[in-house]
Structure formats: structure tokens, C-alpha cells
Amino acid sequence: MPSVAGAQGPSRDEALARCEELIDYRFSNRLLLQEALTHASIAANYLDSNERLEFLGDAVLGLVVCEELFRRYPTYHEGDLTRVKSVVVSRQTCARVAEELGLDRLIFLSKGVEDEEGLPANLVGSALESLIGAVYLDGGFEAAAKLILRLVEPEIQLVAGGQHELNYKSMLQQHAQRQFGAAPNYEVLDEKGPDHSKCFEVAVILNGHRYPSGWGLSKKEAEQKAARCALEVLGAVEPDEDSPQQPCDDLPDSDNSQ
């Protein structure tokens, strides 16, 4: 019998029943649920682990969130929708949602995976995606969408905040308080240009670490870009490959990360 996360975790059947209670869904095929909660470290072979369900659940999660954002924010441009979606479906968000749900205590895994700090965030986030994939296969798209929206609704409201433009400084402030119990600081590293047309380079200092810097045509803009850089490193948003690192012409090369 596989062991459940935690020194005195429940039995397999108890874990399955508890998971159904947490998500308010009863499986017709409980083997799907068992597979969704089975980490590769304890699986007899690759096909018995939750990795295939994770692949499916990630796609279902993305589709449901995209459709919800499309319907909810009819005035948002594609870039705004993409940025909100990238935060809501990120592995960091999935891990936090799974932990708040209590899913991290129901995963079947080997004893060596969990350390003093608990389970790795990627593992917990993957379990949530696997669970979504299992619900999709067992109950169809409607059942999966109902579960997803119930779980990520607070995240959508937090990220979008009813505003057309995302406030990365606000997002980083909230993320830093949740993750580290500390507030980020912003440091001006450099400035370039004449007084009437300056560019500024700013970096975030958080929990003793300096994150990659961002340039802007004002300190406010540079702080927003620096906050996004920090969020990318922390895994809270996906990298924006279409957004240039340096928005000003002929800026010097700079690498201020530590």
C-alpha cells in the first residue's frame, strides 16, 4: 500500500474518500482518482503514476481559465488576458491552491520525497493538475470546469482585480507576503539620458535577494517591470517573450541579478 504524505497520513481508502469530500465530487471510477494522487516515486511503473493525468489536466485547466477570462473581461486585450491567465494557471498558484485545499496531505509517495519544509511546490501543483485530468475523464468537461472555477475564482479576482492593466507591484506585494512574510523593496540601479528624457533601471530586493532589473521611461514604469521580473523568477507569472527587457533606445547592457 502506498504511503501518504505526512508522518501519520490516512490509509489509501481514507485518502481517496477525503479527496472526494474536499473537491465535492464522487468518482465513478476511483482508479482514476488513485492514479491522480500517485506520485512517480511510489508507482510500480510510469503508467501507474499521475504524470499522464497531469499532462491532460494542465490543458483542461488552461482552456477553462481562458474561456472564463474571455467571457468575464470583454474589454481586455489579448495581452491582458494572457498575463492574467499565466498567473492563474502557474505551477506556483496550483501548488498554493492545492495546499489550501489540503491535497498535499493526500498524495501517495515515497518517504524520501518529503523533507523538513514539506513537499516541493512543483509536486503539489502537479497533483492538482492530475486531479483535474481525472475529474475530466470521469465526469466530463462540465464537471472539471465546475471544480476548476471553484478553486481558482479567488485567484482570478486577485490577479485581475477589476482593473484593465495588471499592477505587478501589487501582485508582488501580495505574493511576497504570502510566500516570505516580507515586503519587496525597489532599488534604482542606474539612469540614462538628459533630465527631460531619462530612463531608469530598477531591481527588486526581496528576502535578501536581488532579482533581475527592469528599465522604464519613469521610475514607476521601471518598478512595474522590475516587479514582473521578480514574479517571473518566483514562478508566479510566465516569462513574457514579446516584452523587451529594455524599452529605451541604446540602453547599456546590464545584468544585476545575484
68 grid coordinates: 472564463
Tell me how far apart the alpha carbons of residues 18 and 45 are, in angstroms, rounded to a whole number.
25
Domains of the chain (ranges, CATH numbers): 12-160 (1.10.1520.10), 168-233 (3.30.160.20)
Q: Which of 129, 68, 67 is nearest to 93 (CA)?
A: 129
φ, ψ (nearest 5 deg) of residue 210? -100, 125
Catalytic residues: 58, 129
φ, ψ (nearest 5 deg) of residue 243? -100, 120
Q: 28-69, pLDDT tens digit by residue?
A: 999 999 999 998 788 777 777 899 999 999 999 999 999 999
pLDDT for position 7 = 40
Q: 155-167, pLDDT tens digit by residue?
A: 888 777 644 346 7
- DSSP assignment letter at 154: H
Q: 136-179, pLDDT tens digit by residue?
A: 999 999 999 999 999 999 888 877 764 434 678 888 888 888 88
**Residues of the chain with pLDDT > 70: what percent?**
84
